[in-house]
Structure 1
Amino acid sequence: CGQIKTGSMSRSDRMAKYNQLIRIEELLDRAATYAGTSILRA
């Protein structure tokens, strides 16, 4: 029987996502640029 997760993420889930973002940032290095709010002015 599967489970459906409701509510907010647990601390370990948030840390895992944060750590993944750090790994992606390190992988992309200077190839990635932060668009900021300029992306909203399309």
Structure 2
Amino acid sequence: NCGQIKTGSLSRSDRIAKYNQLIRIAEMLDDQGEYAGSSTIVGR
């Protein structure tokens, strides 16, 4: 586990920050979080 996800070029630092925040939230939730799936997204 690297602890961070790097996607795209260096100019996409806002995207990196969002993914890193998702990682921190997932770590805080530990086993309490549950993936609801893509069916929760409207239009899918």
TM-score (structure 2 length as normaliser):
0.58
Query: CA RMSD for the aligned pairs?
Result: 1.6
Larger Rg: 1
TM-score (structure 1 length as normaliser):
0.61
Equivalent pairs counted in the alignment come to 31
User: With CA pairs under 8 Å and 6+ residues apart, which has the higher RCO, 1 or 2?
Assistant: 2
Unpaired stretches in structure 1, ≥5 consecutive residues: 1-9
Which of the pair is proportionally richer in helix? 1
Identity %: 68
Unpaired stretches in structure 2, ≥5 consecutive residues: 1-10
